Every structure is written in structure tokens, then in C-alpha cells.
Amino acid sequence: MPRRYDAVIFDLLTALLDSWSLWNAVAGGEEAGMRWRRAYLARTYATGVYRPYETLVAEAAVETRLDPRLADDLAARYVELRPWPGVTGELQKLAAAGTKLGVATNCSEILGRLAAAQIGVAFDTIVTAERTGFYKPDPAPYRLALSTLRLPPGRCLFVAGSAYDLVGASSVGFDIWWHDRIGMAKPPEAPEPLRHTSDLAGLADFVLRK
């Protein structure tokens, strides 16, 4: 049967994994964790060219009056990351139907691959900021994911987690499903996504059926 897309590329640490709970736990509470994570996201949005992921995390901790050594604690606990409810099931359906799956993540190579392994589904490509040399929303990570899958953007759906992905993924020509699990504010320059949901229920059916 004709399908809408041949591949789905995902943001990893917000669209697929509940990394926010881990940041909160390492920070010692939800309020501190949210401040720290938002400061980190603002830094990656403005950084562009890759600087070590752990450095940005530590700098964001200092900015929010936390101990910079928490960056090392966070990295050490990446094995505790878990997918959001329903995520693994939807990806398993896509994989079983022959859909290519990819990740484009603002992370170091080691931590990005470790995080992706917690999903329980094999990915055809895992593109990290370290591998690319740039942080999203720079177009480079999205384009590298496409080139490794050997597909044009029109045949791939991008599933955003962070609101900043709306800016970067749209600049490359993706249709975007925004899995907005935590209720982020959309940047004023970001376009409206094709879908804007609080879970991924129905993703596989959407991809596989026109």
C-alpha cells in the first residue's frame, strides 16, 4: 500500500525519551531541573558549531546556580533514561513495516548512542551534534541524517521534541510532527507543525497510510 513516508527521523532526548525527569532528579528537584534544562537548550540554540556537550551542560548549571559537576552526574546516569509511554510500540510498528528510523540529537557521540539504546528499537542512523560538528537547529544534523538514509526530505517525517526543532527541521524541508510532551513555548519564528500532540499515539498509522 502507498505510504506517506519512507522514513521517520526523531529528536531523541525530548521526543522519544523522558530525559526531563532525569535532569530533575540530578538537579535535586523539578524546579531546579527545569531551569537548568531550559538554560542548556537556550545555549545549544545559540551555539551552532559543536562544543563539548558536557561543557554546555556544566555552563548551564553554573548559570542557574547549580554545581557544574552535575554535568558529570547526568552523563553517568544516562543508562536510567526511559522512553515516554507508547513510544517503543509505535517505533516497533514502523520498523516491522520496513520504515527506516533515524535520530538527530544534540548530544555527544557516546551519550547519544547510549540514549538511543534505551528505546529498544534499532535505528538505521544515529546522528549526533558531535558527529556533525553542529548543534541543531543548524541544518547540518538534519541533512546528514537524510544523506545517510539516502532519501529526500519529502519522503521523511521529522518528529520534533524540542520546540527549536521546528525551526531547524522546517529549514531543511521536513514535514514535522511535534511531540510536545512537556508543553514548550513555540519560538515566534517557528512554523506550525503538521501535527502537534502530547503523545505519539497513531504515529505508525499516519506514516504508513495515505
- Do 102 and 203 lie in one domain? The reply is yes
> Which CATH number does the domain housing residue 24 bear?
1.10.150
Q: What is the pLDDT of residue 51?
A: 94
The whole-angstrom separation of Cα 63 and Cα 112 is 24
Asked if residue 1 is part of any domain, the answer here is: no
* Shared domain check, 201 and 145: yes
Q: Which amino acid is at 55?
A: T
- Asked if residue 181 lies in contact with residue 198, where contact means CB atoms within 8 angstroms, the answer is yes
| Residue 33 domain-assigned (yes or no) | yes
What is the spatial distance between Cα 2 and Cα 84, in angstroms, rounded to a whole number?
29
- What are the angstrom distances between the C-alpha of 42 and each of 52, 56, 93, 197, 210? 15, 10, 34, 23, 37
- Same structural domain, 187 and 84: yes
Domain check: are 63 and 154 in the same one? no
Residues 27 and 58 in one domain: yes
Shared domain for 27 and 101, answered yes or no, is no
Whole-model pTM?
Answer: 0.95
Same-domain status, 85 and 74 = no
> Does a structural domain hold residue 204?
yes
Per-residue pLDDT of the chain (210 residues; tens, 9 = 90+): 689 999 999 999 999 999 999 999 999 999 999 999 999 988 988 888 999 999 999 999 999 999 999 999 999 999 999 999 999 999 999 999 999 999 999 999 999 999 999 999 999 999 999 999 999 999 999 999 999 999 999 999 999 998 889 999 999 999 999 999 989 888 888 999 999 999 999 999 999 987
- pLDDT computed for residue 210 by the predictor: 76
Please indicate, yes or no, whether residues 63 and 165 belong to a single structural domain of this protein. Answer: no
pLDDT at 21: 96
Task: Indicate the number of domains in the chain.
Answer: 2
Taking each helix axis from N to C end, the angle separating 53-63 and 30-47, rounded to the nearest 10 degrees, works out to: 130
- Phi then psi for 180, rounded to 5 degrees? -95, 75
Task: State whether 161 and 187 are in the same domain.
Answer: yes
Last residue of a domain, one of 79, 97, 118: 79
Q: Kindly state whether residue 2 falls inside one of the protein's structural domains.
A: no
14 and 44 assigned to the same domain:
no
Same domain for 147 and 95, yes or no, is yes
Q: Which domain holds residue 48?
A: 19-79
